[in-house]
Amino acid sequence: MIQQPKTEPRTLAQQLLQLPVMVAALGYLVDMYDLFLFSVVRVPSLQAIGTPPDRLLPDGIMLLNMQMAGMLLGGIFWGVLGDKRGRLSVLFGSILIYSLANIGNGLVTSLNQYAILRFVAGVGLAGELGAGVTLVTEVLPKQIRGYGTTIVATMGVLGAIMAYFVADWFEWRNAYFIGGGLGLMLLVLRFNILESRIFETVKERQVKRGDLLMLFTNKNRFIKYLQCILVGLPIWFAVGILVTFSPEFGQAIGLSEPVVAGRAVMLAFAGQVFGDIASGLLSQRLRSRKKAILGFILLSLIFVLIYLLAPVRDVDTFYLICVFLGFANGYWALFVTIAAELFGTNLRATVATTVPNFVRGAVIPLTSLFVLGKEYFGVLNSALAVGLLTAGLALLALYFMEETFHKDLNYTESD
């Protein structure tokens, strides 16, 4: 009898550097590049199309809300598609749409055009992270899933940092063109990856897949879904309000020099790179998603209080606080990972894609609350109230959430 040659077990590095993980990570890099390029070029791009100085903040909020509205709708579309047709269909479609929208953003000449294209870009951006994390969690063993999703999230944050430098080196229109070109190049690489075996197995069975109503017709599933969304709120309060509108906060604090929004964004996401790495490693070390996330939510709350209440007067200290604020909110990877792990294969992409986009979309009511409160309590007190609200809701949701570190993902949700 001919003996089959023994297959050497793959090392940790070989498993983490396999093509699906790397393609998901690079996709999220391009995703985050576009998502935060707008935060960096908000002021110069609006000025270039003729926006008066007193409209920079309200028009900037409107464009941000259009982007987030697109992500809300796109999150539902791509999530359902990912469970019905497969994770790869989302990875192909989403990157094509946001790459073309990125190029279109570089061609705008009016506020209405800008608003429409930010909405379209939001729709495309909505699918990338959830589909990527879902694929990574399904192709990696449960003992190292946290490392894989940490790589994805870390590469994404590097994309945000890259947006700052590209916008600094190139005119804002060219910065959008570069993002679109990078996305189209990555699209070619995705033709070489295969669907996850877990999904292919479920696809062969007569099981409901991608049925969004299943999340709302079962009380326990709905509560789990809501918990996932609430846990992520502090991240996007910090990113979507405190960092994006840092020039306005710097003025309210009374800094000696004006804050450059692009620099604040870049530094906050430089901090988040290390936060994502630290939270992922801490989760693996503690063998617990919940304990790691708890530590980072509490740390985030501390730095929100410092950002808004510390008697800071020089801009360099303010930028340093932005770095630490970014680090404290570096649990994005864990937050999306736990959402993917909480649900069965037939709903996993739906949840992992819609949850982060509902969190991003929560910027709309959060900014509305902030703007409303600003009229009565001032910029700093209004932001403080919204920040305390998001932290309180996140801690409450996390307390009742299931631990998923050891969970086997090869299961489905029943009707």
Which band of pLDDT confidence, cut at 50, 70 and 90, is reported for residue 42?
confident
Q: Tens digit of pLDDT for each residue in 17-39?
A: 777 778 888 888 888 888 778 87
Tokens of 393: 């809701």
Which band of pLDDT confidence, cut at 50, 70 and 90, is reported for residue 306?
very high
Which band of pLDDT confidence, cut at 50, 70 and 90, is reported for residue 69?
confident
Has residue 412 been placed in a domain?
Answer: no
Average pLDDT, the chain: 82
In this predicted structure, the answer to whether residue 388 has a pLDDT above a threshold of 50 is: yes
Q: What is the pLDDT of residue 4?
A: 45
Question: Does residue 226 or residue 357 have the better pLDDT?
Answer: 226
Has residue 406 been placed in a domain?
Answer: no
> Residues near 2 by Cβ (< 8 Å), separated by ≥ 6?
none
Has residue 408 been placed in a domain?
Answer: no
CATH classification of the domain holding 334:
1.20.1250.20
Tokens of 390: 């998001």
Tell me which residue range forms the domain holding 351: 14-399
Torsion angle (degrees, nearest 10) of CA 103, 60, 333, 201: -50
Which band of pLDDT confidence, cut at 50, 70 and 90, is reported for residue 327?
very high
Q: Tens digit of pLDDT for each residue in 97-152?
A: 888 988 998 888 888 888 889 999 888 888 877 778 887 877 787 777 778 877 88
The count of domains in the chain is: 1
> Residues near 213 by Cβ (< 8 Å), separated by ≥ 6?
none
State how far Cα 162 lies from the chain centre: 16
Has residue 41 been placed in a domain?
Answer: yes
State how far Cα 178 lies from the chain centre: 21
In this predicted structure, the answer to whether residue 373 has a pLDDT above a threshold of 80 is: yes
Has residue 407 been placed in a domain?
Answer: no
Which band of pLDDT confidence, cut at 50, 70 and 90, is reported for residue 319?
very high
Q: What is the pLDDT of residue 5?
A: 47
Has residue 411 been placed in a domain?
Answer: no
Has residue 197 been placed in a domain?
Answer: yes
Has residue 404 been placed in a domain?
Answer: no
Q: What is the pLDDT of residue 58?
A: 79
Q: Please state the rounded mean pLDDT for residues 176-182.
A: 88
Q: What is the percent of the chain with per-residue pLDDT over 90, rounded to a whole number? A: 15
Q: Please state the rounded mean pLDDT for residues 155-175.
A: 83
The H or E element spanning position 51 is none
Q: What is the pLDDT of residue 328?
A: 93
Question: What sign does the dihedral 318-320-324-325 (CA atoms) show?
Answer: positive
In this predicted structure, the answer to whether residue 403 has a pLDDT above a threshold of 80 is: yes
Question: Does residue 304 or residue 377 have the better pLDDT?
Answer: 304
Q: Please state the rounded mean pLDDT for residues 273-287.
A: 86
Can you give the pTM of this predicted structure? 0.78
